[in-house]
Chains A and B, each alone.
Chain A
Amino acid sequence: MLSIKNLKASIEDGTQILKGINLEVKPGEVHAIMGPNGSGKSTLSKVIAGHPAYHVDGGSVELDGKNLLEMEINERANSGLFISTQYPTEIPGVNNVEFLKMALNSKRAFLGQPEMSDEDFKKLCEEKMNLLEMDERYRERGVNDGMSGGEKKRNEILQMAILDPKVSFLDETDSGLDIDALRIVANGINHIMSPEKAVILVTHYQRLLDYIKPTYVHVLRHGKIILSGGPELALKLEDQGYDWIEEA
């Protein structure tokens, strides 16, 4: 459903960060992307989302056969893509719940569906907040405003739960989470996941993959995927690091 072919992208000064990424993600799959700091994992997520800091030099990203790179940023999201960045942006003054409602109704409008009623939205929101064991204070706050790293990650997964995307790209969602929060967030992701959907997880730690079983594990280094394997690869990486891998 998500097909990335020979994706190359650079930053403003012309430095190429992504040097030909290939990735095929099918429904029901969980892909883990690992790799040393600075290899381009976060860049990959932002390029797919359409962040203006990056220029696509070549390649394609298709979601269900449609080229995401030709779409506006909001259209990508409304077509079923969800990107949770490593450092979620704080937007004080924009209420968390109002924002969620706006995002959901934007998607519904895009899909030609009617606006969700306040009542239905309230129910949906309550259900997902319970799933993620979030307390009422999240409602009152601005988007990610003054939240700890862990609270932000949980707030991101709340958005994912409500927007119900086909493909989610979660960048280091496990960092900043304590042991309980990790379990809650991972269970939340598993709950949202279904055979029609797919998840891409960027992580440094096996502990997340203990909860969310990856179908494939990839190693991204210097802007390329240099090795792919099954769940056992993550264990080996945790044990031995990245230096044993020969770059093509």
Chain B
Amino acid sequence: MSTATSEFIQNLPTAEQAIARLREIGMPKRNNELWSFFPVAKIPTPEFMGTDFAASSAANPAAAPAANETAAQSPAENAPAIKESDFAALLPIANNARPMIREIADGADEMAMLKCNNDFGHTVLDIGKGAKVSLEILDNKVTHDIAAERFDINVGENADVEIFFANPACDLPLRFRHFNINQAAGANVRFSSICKDTAIGRISIECHLKGEGANFDYRSLHILDGEASQHSRLTIYHEAPRTVSTQLARNLLSGSARVSYDGSVIVGYDCTGVNSSQLVNTILMSEDASVSVKPVLKIYHDDVECTHGNTVGELDAEQMFYLVSRGIPKKAAQEMLMRSFAQETFLPLPDSPAKKRLMSSL
């Protein structure tokens, strides 16, 4: 493996580092921009945070851990500091999730399925140059009170990778999935997901487009009902010229389901010809369903094309009338329109196992 990839693996935080960092940043709070829409009160405080940690000040992390035994044994002092600051990204590592490291050779053509632990998991994929990878993430049937999974994915030059999941509705009370993606020049990553979970969840993605022409395509569909509360947090760093990112998030919300979409695009200096788009479309099927969208653009270059859009609506009344006036019952007509809205999310994908799986699950 090249130095770049081994560096990638070596730079992953250790459990000690993760714990130390978590103590430093503290439990997620609503006033932290990473968690502004999330029902943070539902997150149980992990033991290693110390029992009275939550009450202590995050600005003075040294004060908290000294109080209890776990903290006393903590090697926090010797662990070099890390910068990672997303609680959900650090949680699995802090909980000693043993990393499953998989290296995919240059030029390989692989289809893989990954079964998640549904408690704490850490997967590291190091994908070689020009490799072609289709990765489906599956749920494990066994569920716990909380699941936090982390994926570190390093994508070599000109590799073509699809990552997708269309799991059946999951009633895990709380689920985090964090993806940390690095893309070298010319690397394509398509991330596509369908979420029908019934409880609380958050997907966070940090994508670094490090090499010229790298392309990240994100498509997500949330079909939620009842009390479901699902949150997405994306940060895309355009760190090289002519990098492209596309985000399309579609939501079909019934009951009192709640969705938030928090997408940041950061375009660095010297990054000419960057193209980035973000679009969030939501259909509210009920009075109590709700959506919050927060687009953030930080652009440090002129020659950049960035667009973002956000639409919220109901099913089109004229389309409903048309279908029903041809004899189709109201409920079936609604389903037809919802299905077409859902399918359009993935229609532009190239023919692939991901597209097949996602479309067939709708």
B342 to chain A: closest residue by CB? A93
Please state if B329 and A106 are interface contacts (CB–CB under 8 Å). Answer: yes
Interface string of B292-308 (1 = CB under 8 A from A): 00000000000000000
Pick the contact of B321: A89, A103, A142, A163 (CB < 8 A): A89
Stretch at the interface among A11-19, A55-63, A73-81: A73-81
- B332 on the A face (CB < 8 A): yes
* Of A89, A103, A110, the contact of B319 (CB 8 Å cutoff): A89
Instruction: Please name all residues of chain B whose beta carbon is closer than 8 Å to the beta carbon of A91 when the two chains form the complex.
Output: 319, 322-323, 337, 340
User: Is B322 in contact with A88, judged by CB distance below 8 angstroms?
Assistant: yes
Q: Is the CB of B344 within 8 A of A110?
A: no
Report the Cα distance A78→B324, complex, angstroms.
10
Asked if A83 is at the interface (CB within 8 A of a chain B CB), the reply is yes
Q: When A and B form their complex, what is the total count of cross-chain residue pairs whose Cβ atoms lie within 8 Å?
A: 69
Q: How many residues of A contact B (CB 8 A)?
A: 27
Q: Is A168 an interface residue (CB 8 A)?
A: no
Does A214 touch B at the CB level, under 8 Å?
A: no
Q: Indicate with 1 or 0, residue by residue over B307-337, a CB within 8 angstroms of chain A CB atoms.
A: 0000000000111011111111110100011
Question: What is the bound-complex CA distance between A52 and B343, given in angstroms?
Answer: 28
Contact: B343 with A106, CB < 8 Å?
Answer: no
CA distance A142 to B330 in the complex (A): 19
Are the CB atoms of A50 and B325 closer together than 8 Å?
A: yes
Does B341 lie at the interface of the complex (its beta carbon under 8 Å from any beta carbon of A)?
Answer: yes
Given A52-B321, A99-B336, decide whether A93 and B343 contact each other with a Cβ distance below 8 A.
yes
Interface of B is mostly: helix
Name the residue on B nearest A80 (C-beta). B327
Report if A107 contacts B (CB, 8 A): yes
Task: Select A77's contact among B326, B337, B340, beta carbons within 8 Å.
Answer: B326
Residues on the B chain within 8 Å of A143, using CB = 322
B327, A163: Cβ atoms under 8 Å?
A: yes
User: Which residues on B sit within 8 Å (CB–CB) of A88?
Assistant: 322
Bound together, the chains give a CA A91 to CA B329 distance in angstroms of 17
Q: Is the CB of A94 within 8 A of B327?
A: no
Q: State whether A99 and B340 are in contact (beta carbons under 8 Å apart), knowing that A52-B317, A106-B329, A106-B332 are contacts in the complex.
A: no
* In contact, A92 and B322 (Cβ under 8 angstroms): no
**Cβ-defined contact, B322 with A103, below 8 A:** no
Q: Which residues of B contact A52 (CB under 8 A)?
A: 317, 321
Given contacts A52-B317, A89-B318, contact A94 B337 (CB under 8 A): yes
Q: Mark out the residues of chain A between 47 and 73 whose CB falls within 8 Å of any chain B CB in the assembled complex.
A: 49-52, 72-73
A159: interface (CB < 8 Å): yes
Given known pairs A93-B340, A94-B340, A102-B336, the reply for A77 and B327 (CB within 8 Å) is yes
Residue pair B319, A78 in contact (C-beta under 8 Å): no
Q: Do A163 and B326 touch across chains, with their CB atoms under 8 A apart?
A: yes
**Closest-CB distance, A12 to chain B (whole angstroms):** 13
Query: In residues 101-123 of chain A, which contact B (Cβ within 8 Å)?
Result: 102-103, 106-107, 110
**A103 closest partner in B (C-beta):** B326
Q: How far is A117 from B321 in the complex, measured between Cα atoms in Å?
A: 26
Instruction: Give complex CA distance A81, B341 in Å.
Output: 29
Alpha-carbon gap, A93 to B250, bound state (A): 15
A201 smallest CB distance to B (angstroms)? 18
Name, among B324, B325, B330, the residue most crowded by chain A CB atoms within 10 Å (CB to CB).
B325
Known A-B contacts A51-B321, A89-B322; the reply to A106 vs B327 at CB < 8 A is yes
18 contacts between A and B (CB under 8 A): A49-B321, A52-B321, A73-B330, A74-B326, A74-B327, A77-B324, A83-B325, A88-B322, A89-B318, A91-B322, A91-B340, A92-B340, A93-B341, A94-B336, A94-B337, A99-B323, A103-B326, A159-B326
Closest 3 CB pairs of A and B: A93-B340, A77-B327, A89-B322
Listed in ascending order, the chain B residues whose CB lies under 8 Å from chain A are 317-319, 321-330, 332, 336-337, 340-341, 343-344
Chain A residues with a Cβ under 8 A of chain B: 49-52, 72-74, 76-78, 83, 88-89, 91-94, 99, 102-103, 106-107, 110, 142-143, 159, 163
Inter-chain pairs besides A72-B330, A107-B327, 17 sampled, C-beta below 8 Å: A49-B325, A74-B327, A77-B327, A78-B327, A83-B325, A88-B322, A91-B337, A91-B340, A92-B344, A93-B343, A94-B336, A94-B340, A102-B328, A106-B332, A110-B327, A143-B322, A163-B327
